[in-house]
């Protein structure tokens, strides 16, 4: 029953391919549940010359930079869509 009460707080969201949803240095404002598409969380080397992917997410799964979302501190990572993606998402303010 608690889950049913929370459902109205989750809102549909769509992003085209290669969209940066969260950039390093930004606060993660949303937690996403993937309904379609593929995303990745990655970071850049110190000199910015190389990328390293930490995780891929796809339906049905949760996506986002969880530690930055929960702490509301600037993210060390990027969240990017690889393909056009569909989500439901919840803001930090609605989550707490």
Q: Residue 25 corresponds to which tokens in the numbers above?
A: 């240095």
Report how far Cα 68 is from the mean position of its chain's Cα atoms.
10
In a domain? residue 72: yes
pLDDT at 1 exceeding the cut of 80: no
* 25: region left, alpha or beta (phi > 0 left; psi from -120 to 50 alpha): left
In a domain? residue 65: yes
In this structure, what DSSP letter does residue 92 have? H
In a domain? residue 4: no
In a domain? residue 57: yes
pLDDT at 5 exceeding the cut of 70: no
Q: What is the pLDDT of residues 32-86, one digit of tens each?
A: 999 999 999 999 988 878 999 999 999 999 999 999 999 999 999 999 999 999 9
Rounded to whole angstroms, the Cα distance separating 32 from 65 reads 9
Please give the residue range of the domain that contains residue 49: 17-90
Give how far Cα 30 sits from Cα of 46, 51, 56, 85, 86, Å.
Answer: 26, 23, 17, 15, 14
In a domain? residue 52: yes
Domain count, the chain: 1
pTM of the model: 0.86
In a domain? residue 44: yes
pLDDT at 47: 85
CATH, residue 76:
2.60.120.10
pLDDT at 23 exceeding the cut of 90: yes
């Amino acid at each position: 029953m608690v889950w049913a009460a929370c459902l109205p707080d989750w809102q549909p969201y769509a992003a085209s391919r290669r969209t940066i949803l969260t950039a390093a240095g930004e606060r993660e404002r949303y937690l996403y549940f993937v309904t379609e598409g593929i995303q990745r969380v990655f970071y850049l080397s110190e000199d910015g010359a190389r990328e390293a992917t930490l995780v891929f997410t796809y339906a049905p799964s949760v996506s986002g930079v969880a530690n930055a979302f929960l702490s509301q501190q600037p993210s060390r990572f990027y969240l990017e869509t690889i393909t056009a993606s569909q989500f439901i998402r919840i803001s930090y303010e609605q989550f707490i």
